[in-house]
Amino acid sequence: MFNTNTISRFKDLETPFYYYDLGLLRHTLDACKMASDQYGFHVHYAMKANFNPKVLETIQSYGFGADCVSGNEVKAAIANDFDKSKVVFAGVGKSDKEINAALDADIFCFNVESIQELSIINDLAKAKNKKAKVAIRINPNVDAQTHHFITTGLDENKFGINIWQLNDVAETLRKCASLQFIGIHFHIGSQITDLEVYKNLCTRINDMQDWFEDHGFQVKVLNTGGGLGVDYHHPDTNPIPNFEGYFKVFKDFLKVKPGQEVHFELGRAMVAQSSALIARVLYVKIGQKKNFLVLDAGMTELIRPMLYQAYQKIENLSRESGSESQISNLKSQIFKYDVVGPICESTDCFQKDVELPESFRGDLFAIRTAGAYGEVMASGYNLRDRVQSVYSE
In the chain, alpha helices (H): 4-10, 22-37, 53-60, 71-79, 96-105, 115-127, 166-175, 196-214, 243-253, 268-271, 304-308, 324-331
Residue 142 has a pLDDT of 75
Q: How high is the pLDDT of residue 155?
A: 53
- What integer pLDDT is reported at residue 85 of this predicted model? 97
Encode pLDDT of 163-211 as tens digits.
Answer: 999 999 999 999 999 999 999 999 998 999 999 999 999 999 999 999 9
Evaluate whether 54 touches 19 at the Cβ level (below 8 Å): no
The confidence score (pLDDT) of residue 164 equals 92
**Percent over 90 (pLDDT), the chain:** 89
Give the DSSP letter string of 130-169.
Answer: --EEEEEEEE------S-GGGB-SSTTSSSSEEGGGHHHH
- Transcribe 294-308 into DSSP letters: EES--TTT--HHHHH
CB 279 within 8 A of CB 329: no
Domains along the sequence of the chain with CATH: 4-17+274-391 (2.40.37.10), 22-272 (3.20.20.10)
The model's confidence at residue 320, banded by pLDDT at 50, 70 and 90, is confident
Separation of alpha carbons 215 and 218, rounded Å: 9
Model confidence, pTM: 0.93
